[in-house]
Amino acid sequence: MRNYNPLSVDELGRSAARALMEYPAEVLPPENSFNGAGVYTLHYRGIFPLYSDIAEDSPIYVGKADPAGRRQGRGRGAMTTTTLYRRLQQHADSISAADNLDLQDFRCRWLVLDPVWIGLTEQTLIAEYHPLWNIVVDGFGNHDPGSGRRNQRRSQWDTLHPGREWASILQDREETVETITSAIETFLSNRGRRLNP
């Protein structure tokens, strides 16, 4: 016997994830500003050798944009803020700064959500699609840590895709580009087998 509860937490997360993925992918960043907080996916369709086999509908990155003050319980007014749009703009800036990526090769999807559903939907999307920049190549969503914390190590993403000015000042990490490349190749090979048994 199979049990199905359309109002279960898992099913609500899957429902929001499906709604997001049904929208056509658009240019990054979106051409027009919009209000709201929510979730988004980034998609790659270029010729960077490590990413060229990733299907266009399979996100390379999944993220969320909570309303300001959410962690302090002040996240009201989520529908009147441009936090989701601004987050997509920030990601476009990061990609544009990278020496070996072209912003024209990226597309995005987004979904404005009530704050209560944002984290759940992000988790569901990551569990469903295993996005490379969430699972293997850490650091894409990082911000400038500020002058007081410049002793941190450069992220995997910034090691593989140098160009963000603030990241160039950080300390080198022990992992090399070759090590990160090998981890990506292994991950994509294993993911391909999981998705195509």
pLDDT single digits (tens) 129-169: 999 999 999 999 998 876 556 678 999 999 999 999 999 88
Report pLDDT for 4.
Answer: 46
What are phi and psi for residue 78, nearest 5 degrees?
Answer: -65, -25
Cα distance between residue 45 and residue 142, in whole Å = 23
Report pLDDT for 72.
Answer: 43
Report pLDDT for 69.
Answer: 60
The arithmetic mean of pLDDT across residues 80-93, rounded, is 93
Reply yes or no on whether the pLDDT at 93 is more than 70.
Answer: yes
The arithmetic mean of pLDDT across residues 58-87, rounded, is 77
Report pLDDT for 76.
Answer: 53
Residue 61's pLDDT band (cuts 50, 70, 90): very high
Report pLDDT for 81.
Answer: 83
Q: Are 84 and 40 in contact (CB under 8 A)?
A: yes
Q: What percentage of residues in the chain have a pLDDT greater than 70?
A: 83
pLDDT, mean over the chain: 87
- Peptide bond preceding 29 in cis form (omega within 30 of 0): yes
Report pLDDT for 80.
Answer: 63
Cα distance between residue 4 and residue 164, in whole Å = 47
Cα distance between residue 19 and residue 10, in whole Å = 14
Q: Are 173 and 159 in contact (CB under 8 A)?
A: yes
Q: Are 115 and 78 in contact (CB under 8 A)?
A: yes
Residue with more model confidence, 72 or 30? 30
Reply yes or no on whether the pLDDT at 16 is more than 80.
Answer: yes
Whole-angstrom distance between the N-terminal and C-terminal Cα of the chain? Answer: 26
Report pLDDT for 10.
Answer: 67
The arithmetic mean of pLDDT across residues 172-177, rounded, is 92
Residues 6+ apart with CB under 8 A from 18: none
